[in-house]
Structure 1
Amino acid sequence: MGVLLPSRWGGLMALLAGFFVILLDTTIVAVASPSIQADLGGGVAGLFWVTAGYLLAFSVPLLVAGRLGDLFDPKRVYLFGMGAFAVTSALCGLASSIGWLIAFRVLQGLAAAAMSPQPLTLIRRLFAEDERGRAFGIWGSVAAAATLLGPILGGLLTASLDWRWIFWVNVPLCLVAVVLGIRLIPGSQGGVARFDLLGAALSTAGLSLLVWALLSWSSLSLPATVIAVVLLVCFYFRERGEGANALAPLHLYRSSGYSAASLAMASLGATVLAMALPTMLYIQEVRGFGPIEAAMVMAPDAVLAILLSPPCGRWVDRVGGRGPAILGMSLLAMSLLLIGLVVVLKLNPWWITAGAALLGAANAMAWSPLSAIAMASVAPGAAGGASGLFNTVRQVGAVAGVAVTGAVLAGLGFNPTLAFGVVFGFIGLVAVGGLVAALRLPASLEMSESVGS
């Protein structure tokens, strides 16, 4: 059997295999939480940090990981992260206590962070401008499929085998992704710029404190947030003087394409994740639906995203990204308005299905153009740093959205109607902010492409 040569669609398949594993692991854990608690103990706080520890470790190093891709070749960093993800997944399945599971989940999050920024860079390398929309559309379809299949696969594995298999199932999937990646993803020599250690330390410390404060909401959150802001301001001034050696190419925010796409993507990530918990709580605890019925109510979200993402990507290739992105962000705001009205006005809860369908269409239409426009704004040598920055903004936005939603639900739990009203009001405002950002996108990818580093 001959060695498979790198090709753009084969390379995309290899990237999608790894991306699928990361997202599958994000959604597969929740359904196994009761079994994990019964086996390892740790209480609600322990279960919270099984997820929050992963999220913290995944969010913080994205800037560093993106820059490492520029310096050492994104293919190498991606494959290293995938191998580490396989090892840490095996360790999670072997955990003997809740403390060890949290520790291994943190390591797993670090491995995921190493992988996450590289695919955007590699897709930019693999595909010409007139094919990137299609590639990002397929990317969005796989993301939706992983989100849909995660809870289903998690439930099946936990019920038929053991909760540990939700982690062990990653190992063969990762190995397949590594083999495909070695054979099908084209490599490069990497860059020659110096790695900014001080910038890495400032960004890592600042983002760690910020994400921890958002996730924990403890008495230490306010001082931690103040220190985080100070560290990130220092990081900003450090980066301004680093030029080509900058860890994060902040000069890209002078590009209307990159800045608007980043803000819109942060809004998309924040709203989609922030609405999940209050919606499921409302459906099950207020309206009395069971888990299967609740899943059916929200299923159109993932189904529509799976079906529409590839054709939406082809649409972006034909007409440019601005129109599809504006339509997608408009549908996002409409979907959240509809779901919010159902909750606040206590309408028939099955109307949420229509809101979920709009949400799936919004994801399909917004994901591809926002990603394509952002990466079209980047010179090839800075693509890794730009991808890391783009992913960091999206991920921190998502964490902030979840944190604010959780805090409102906890603080106003004595009045559920008020709590849900405030939550959906907040989420709606974030969605409108994302729509405003989309309106600032350039008229075509060519306009965005002309803004280099």
Structure 2
Amino acid sequence: MNSKWGGLTALLAGFFVLLLDTTIVAVASPSIQADLGGDVAGLFWVTAGYLLAFSVPLLVAGRLGDLFDPKRVYLVGMGGFAVASGLCGLAPSIGWLIAFRVLQGLAAAAMAPQPLTLIRRLFAEDERGRAFGIWGSVAAAATLLGPILGGLLTASLDWRWIFWVNVPLCGIAVVVGIRLIPGSRGGTTGFDLLGAALSTAGLSLLVWALLSWGTLSVPATVIAVILLVCFYRRERREGAQALAPLHLYRSSGYLTASLAMASLGAAVLAMALPTMLYIQDVRGFGPIEAAVVMSPDALVAILMSPSAGRWVDRVGGRLPAILGMSLLTASLLLIGLVVMLNLSPWWILPGAAMLGAANALAWSPLSAIAMASVDSDAAGGASGLFNTVRQVGAVAGVAVTGAVLAGLDGSPKLAFGVVFLFIGLVAAGGAVAAARLPMGSVADQNRTSEGERV
């Protein structure tokens, strides 16, 4: 196997499982509750704990990749993820499962920012669109396959296998990655400990407030905003040692790609819970039937993404991203109509296929454009910032969806309508951001960015 494609395979295996685990628990929740007990709040934190631990350390993890070599940080994170997954499968109670899910999230955070940096190292400019396309297909498929694989594994084996299946995948990926992912000595600049403390505390409070929606959410949000403003002011003074390269937001490509990716992450994750509730709780489908209904999204994403990546290499990222985000909006409105009109869940199939096409077309160009304006020695920090924005957007989408469904529990039709209207508006906002992306090929944007830095 060519070393660069083998290295990409190792990256994809790890990235697949960490995104898979953001959604895989949803369909297995009834089985987990039947086995381990606990209330709805406990089940919620099985997913929310993972999202919290995954989202918060991304900035720090991206900077650690710059300092200590992204290959090393990635492989250590993948090993930790395998161990935490095995422990999740052995959890004797809901409390222990939540704790092990937090460990999983921390390991995922170490891994998540590194692939974008390593793809830049593995591939030349004229091949990156294709590589990002394949990476995007895996990223999209993992997020979308979560409920599908969760349903199949829970129905045919046991809910614990939704975690145990990660262990051999991560083990193989570590062995392949040690051999085929290129390493480096890392950077020589320092590490901003105060900035890391401010960002970690601020993001922790913000994500917790988004996920909990309790009586302490408002003061927690206020404190989070104060801490993040202090972090922003410090980062502006730190220069090369800054934890997050906030100067990148002066680049229209990086800013608009980040905003569009945040809306993509929010919309895709936010639609999973209401769609599964409708299919299973309202219409009475089992886990396998629910998996079949949603299967076109992952299948289409996997089939289309490599071609979408080559298209990005030829025409640039703007047109594919606009088309992808527009399809995302249309697919969510279609699925929302099926739910609102109480139609057969089988009418979700075309919407799911459109959702897969949207992910295939959007992931690659948004990632490629964002990373085109980044110096190689700051790629880890830039990837960490890009992933943080995406993940916080996803958490916000899940939080708003959960709050609406809980608040309008007595009026399910109204709740579903508000949720899908919200998700559709978020996706439409992403389409507007995509329309403001720079034109031209990614290679041209790389050369332009390098010229501006000179």
Please give the residue correspondences for 1:262-411 in structure 2 after superposition, counting only pairs within 5 Å: 262-346=258-342, 349-411=345-407
Equivalent position SS for 2:41: helix
Counterparts of 1:404 and 1:199, CA distance in 2: 29
Relative to 1, partners in 2 of residues 1:29 and 1:318: Cα closer, same or farther, differing over 3 Å?
same
Q: Is it true that 1:40 corresponds to 2:36 in the alignment?
A: yes
Counterparts of 2:393 and 2:339, CA distance in 1: 24
Relative to 1, partners in 2 of residues 1:270 and 1:354: Cα closer, same or farther, differing over 3 Å?
same
Equivalent position SS for 1:85: helix
Counterparts of 1:124 and 1:360, CA distance in 2: 25
Task: Report if aligned partners of 1:120, 1:375 keep a CA contact under 8 Å in 2.
Answer: yes
Task: Report if aligned partners of 1:194, 1:245 keep a CA contact under 8 Å in 2.
Answer: yes
1:400 partner amino acid: A
Task: Report if aligned partners of 1:66, 1:388 keep a CA contact under 8 Å in 2.
Answer: yes
Counterparts of 1:143 and 1:190, CA distance in 2: 26
Relative to 1, partners in 2 of residues 1:359 and 1:292: Cα closer, same or farther, differing over 3 Å?
same
Counterparts of 2:370 and 2:359, CA distance in 1: 16
Relative to 1, partners in 2 of residues 1:156 and 1:443: Cα closer, same or farther, differing over 3 Å?
closer
Give 2:25's match in structure 1, choosing from 11, 23, 29.
29
Tell me which residue corresponds to 2:434.
438
Counterparts of 1:16 and 1:27, CA distance in 2: 17
Alpha-carbon offset, residue 52 of structure 1: 1.0
Counterparts of 2:17 and 2:281, CA distance in 1: 31
Comparing 87-96 with 63-72, greater Cα deviation is found at 87-96
Relative to 1, partners in 2 of residues 1:427 and 1:295: Cα closer, same or farther, differing over 3 Å?
same
Alpha-carbon offset, residue 32 of structure 1: 3.3
Task: Report if aligned partners of 1:36, 1:163 keep a CA contact under 8 Å in 2.
Answer: yes
Q: Is it true that 1:448 corresponds to 2:422 in the alignment?
A: no
Task: Report if aligned partners of 1:255, 1:448 keep a CA contact under 8 Å in 2.
Answer: no
Relative to 1, partners in 2 of residues 1:339 and 1:162: Cα closer, same or farther, differing over 3 Å?
closer
Tell me which residue corresponds to 2:421.
425
Give 1:88's match in structure 2, choosing from 69, 84, 97.
84
Tell me which residue corresponds to 2:63.
67
Identity of aligned residues (%): 85
Counterparts of 2:52 and 2:286, CA distance in 1: 31
Alpha-carbon offset, residue 147 of structure 1: 4.2
2:178 partner amino acid: I
Alpha-carbon offset, residue 342 of structure 1: 3.1
1:234 partner amino acid: C
Task: Report if aligned partners of 2:151, 2:288 keep a CA contact under 8 Å in 1.
Answer: no
Comparing 91-100 with 46-55, greater Cα deviation is found at 91-100
Alpha-carbon offset, residue 157 of structure 1: 4.4
Counterparts of 1:165 and 1:363, CA distance in 2: 27
Task: Report if aligned partners of 1:14, 1:177 keep a CA contact under 8 Å in 2.
Answer: yes
2:19 partner amino acid: L
Alpha-carbon offset, residue 143 of structure 1: 2.8
Task: Report if aligned partners of 1:144, 1:303 keep a CA contact under 8 Å in 2.
Answer: no
Alpha-carbon offset, residue 9 of structure 1: 1.0
Counterparts of 2:370 and 2:307, CA distance in 1: 20
Relative to 1, partners in 2 of residues 1:52 and 1:243: Cα closer, same or farther, differing over 3 Å?
same
Task: Report if aligned partners of 2:78, 2:107 keep a CA contact under 8 Å in 1.
Answer: yes
Equivalent position SS for 1:378: coil
Counterparts of 1:261 and 1:166, CA distance in 2: 32
Give 2:218's match in structure 1, choosing from 208, 211, 222.
222
2:400 partner amino acid: V
Counterparts of 2:24 and 2:330, CA distance in 1: 28
Gaps of 5+ in 2: none
Counterparts of 1:296 and 1:164, CA distance in 2: 21
Task: Report if aligned partners of 2:148, 2:290 keep a CA contact under 8 Å in 1.
Answer: no
Alpha-carbon offset, residue 237 of structure 1: 0.5
Counterparts of 1:50 and 1:99, CA distance in 2: 9
Question: Which whole-Å deviations, capped at 9, do the CAs of 1:392-446 have from their partners, x for residues lacking one?
Answer: 0000000101111111121122222322222122112111111111111110224
2:83 partner amino acid: V
Tell me which residue corresponds to 1:55.
51
Q: Is it true that 1:244 corresponds to 2:236 in the alignment?
A: no
1:14 partner amino acid: A
Counterparts of 2:416 and 2:25, CA distance in 1: 25
Equivalent position SS for 2:300: helix
Alpha-carbon offset, residue 128 of structure 1: 1.2
Q: If the length of structure 1 is used for normalisation, what is the TM-score?
A: 0.94
Equivalent position SS for 1:443: coil
Relative to 1, partners in 2 of residues 1:447 and 1:102: Cα closer, same or farther, differing over 3 Å?
same
Alpha-carbon offset, residue 212 of structure 1: 0.5
Equivalent position SS for 1:201: helix
Counterparts of 1:185 and 1:199, CA distance in 2: 30
1:451 partner amino acid: S
Equivalent position SS for 1:241: helix
Counterparts of 1:348 and 1:168, CA distance in 2: 34
Comparing 374-383 with 283-292, greater Cα deviation is found at 283-292
Gaps of 5+ in 1: none
Q: Is it true that 1:172 corresponds to 2:168 in the alignment?
A: yes
Q: If the length of structure 2 is used for normalisation, what is the TM-score?
A: 0.94
Alpha-carbon offset, residue 333 of structure 1: 1.4
Counterparts of 1:152 and 1:267, CA distance in 2: 23
Tell me which residue corresponds to 1:100.
96
Relative to 1, partners in 2 of residues 1:241 and 1:411: Cα closer, same or farther, differing over 3 Å?
same
- Aligned pair count? 449
Task: Report if aligned partners of 1:66, 1:389 keep a CA contact under 8 Å in 2.
Answer: yes
Q: Is it true that 1:235 corresponds to 2:244 in the alignment?
A: no
Question: Which whole-Å deviations, capped at 9, do the CAs of 1:197-252 have from their partners, x for residues lacking one?
Answer: 01000000000001111111111111111111111111110101011111000000
Relative to 1, partners in 2 of residues 1:253 and 1:357: Cα closer, same or farther, differing over 3 Å?
same
Q: Is it true that 1:188 corresponds to 2:180 in the alignment?
A: no
Counterparts of 1:278 and 1:33, CA distance in 2: 14
Counterparts of 1:288 and 1:157, CA distance in 2: 19
CA RMSD of aligned residues (A): 2.0
Tell me which residue corresponds to 1:120.
116
